[in-house]
């Protein structure tokens, strides 16, 4: 009975200091981070923010294959000096990977978000760009993203964070739409701004032949940032491997459903993300859905404490979960095993499994 009460108190957030440390550790731990704990913070506004409502929300996964072989990626980082080496200084493996795309281990994460506003108009947001420009060019063509960009039918590009697999295929976007408005979180290094401007980084096998010429808007961690009625971004001051700092994620309020949270990697921790939203955004009694990387066991290194994390996640009674990317296949199996409403994918377009949403799969929150 004593153990049950302790767990319930954690789940309900009554031990705030402990929960913050626990959540950060659970979200960030991996083979690389060796279970080190970091604090993920976003400042609290003076009162809850009313972000408005949208009618419908749809998310299509363009690419969730951030890299093709975990072992190759981990070895690249290890050989370069470890997890705190700058990503721009790592000679990433681009040839000879049997499971890679044309031998290249890099792939990328990217999704297309479509929101129907209350007046019937629609907004399209490209969320992240992927990593390998060749791979992302293929995926953009297959899903019609290149055409949408050329026709200026995508309203903006949102970069969740500066990591290689979320940002480095920027030229795949700017080739078609060089003056697209881009939103980035506070924490980008000078290299990130240089890449946007067209600088190449030969050591990392990275280039951008199509410099960005549009608005670049940086959101800090001091407030919630509305995008349009029914949608906002929240930026967390959180560190991650390869010297990355800062990550932003979406909050949508879908009419008659509740809040939907859409994230890239969720280095801030899936539960701390939910708790911050519930504490600071109006109409947060119901978290209807989530989509994106949940960063629980991205390198398939399950830790027993993650079982408690999933138990805590289940307490929110979320109705739809569209996990992918760095969630981990073991995590997905565990989620299904305890009855979390994880939406399965189709396993197509070189996705490794159908256990969660893959390349070309869509989730509707309506």
Contact 158, 251 (CB under 8 A): no
The answer on pLDDT for 365 being more than 50 is yes
Please give the mean pLDDT across all residues of the chain: 89
pLDDT value, residue 47 = 87
The answer on pLDDT for 19 being more than 50 is no
Domain count, the chain: 1
Cβ neighbours of 177 (radius 10 Å) = 22
The answer on pLDDT for 8 being more than 60 is no
What tens digit of pLDDT does each residue of 250-267 get? Answer: 999 999 999 999 999 999
pLDDT value, residue 38 = 35
More confident residue, 33 or 131: 131
Integer Cα distance of 38 and 49 in angstroms: 27
Integer Cα distance of 204 and 136 in angstroms: 17
What tens digit of pLDDT does each residue of 203-236 get? Answer: 999 999 999 999 999 999 867 999 999 999 999 9
Task: Using pLDDT thresholds of 50, 70 and 90, give the confidence band for residue 46.
Answer: low
Paired tokens of 352: 């490794």
Q: CATH number of the domain that 50 lies in?
A: 3.60.15.10
Sequence-ordered list of residues with C-beta below 8 angstroms from that of 8, at least 6 positions apart, any chain: none
Bridge partner residues of 218 (DSSP)? 184
Residue 118's domain spans which residues? 2-365
The answer on pLDDT for 33 being more than 70 is no
Bridge partner residues of 126 (DSSP)? 112, 157
């Amino acid at each position: 009975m004593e153990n049950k009460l302790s767990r319930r108190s954690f789940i309900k957030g009554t031990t705030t200091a402990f929960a913050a440390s626990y959540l950060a550790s659970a979200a960030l731990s991996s083979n690389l981070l060796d279970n080190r704990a970091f604090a993920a913070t976003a400042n609290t506004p003076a009162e809850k923010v009313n972000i408005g409502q949208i009618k419908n929300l749809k998310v299509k996964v363009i690419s969730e294959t951030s890299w093709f072989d975990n072992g190759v990626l981990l070895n690249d980082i290890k050989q370069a000096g470890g997890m705190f080496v700058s990503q721009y200084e790592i000679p990433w493996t681009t040839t000879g990977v049997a499971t890679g795309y044309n031998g290249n281990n890099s792939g990328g994460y990217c999704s297309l978000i479509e929101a129907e506003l209350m007046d019937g108009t629609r907004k399209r947001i490209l969320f992240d760009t992927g990593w390998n420009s060749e791979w992302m060019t293929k995926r953009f063509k297959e899903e019609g993203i290149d055409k949408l960009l050329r026709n200026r039918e995508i309203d903006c590009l949102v970069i969740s964070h500066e990591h290689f697999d979320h940002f480095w295929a920027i030229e795949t976007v700017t080739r078609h739409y060089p003056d697209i408005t881009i939103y980035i979180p506070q924490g980008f290094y000078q290299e990130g701004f240089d890449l946007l401007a067209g600088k190449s980084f030969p050591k990392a096998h990275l280039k951008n032949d199509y410099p960005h010429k549009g608005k670049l808007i940086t959101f800090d961690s001091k407030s919630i940032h509305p995008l349009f009625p029914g949608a906002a971004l929240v930026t967390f001051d959180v560190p991650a491997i390869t010297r990355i700092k800062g990550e932003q994620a979406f909050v949508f309020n879908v009419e008659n459903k509740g809040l939907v949270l859409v994230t890239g990697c969720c280095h801030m921790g899936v539960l701390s993300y939910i708790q911050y939203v519930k504490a600071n955004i109006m109409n947060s009694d119901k978290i209807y859905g989530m989509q994106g990387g949940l960063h629980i066991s991205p390198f398939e290194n399950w830790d027993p404490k993650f079982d408690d994390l999933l138990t805590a996640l289940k307490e929110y009674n979320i109705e739809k979960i569209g996990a992918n990317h760095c969630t981990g296949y073991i995590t997905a199996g565990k989620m299904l095993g305890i009855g979390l409403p994880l939406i399965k994918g189709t396993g197509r377009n070189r996705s490794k499994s159908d256990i969660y949403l893959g390349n070309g799969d869509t989730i509707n929150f309506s």
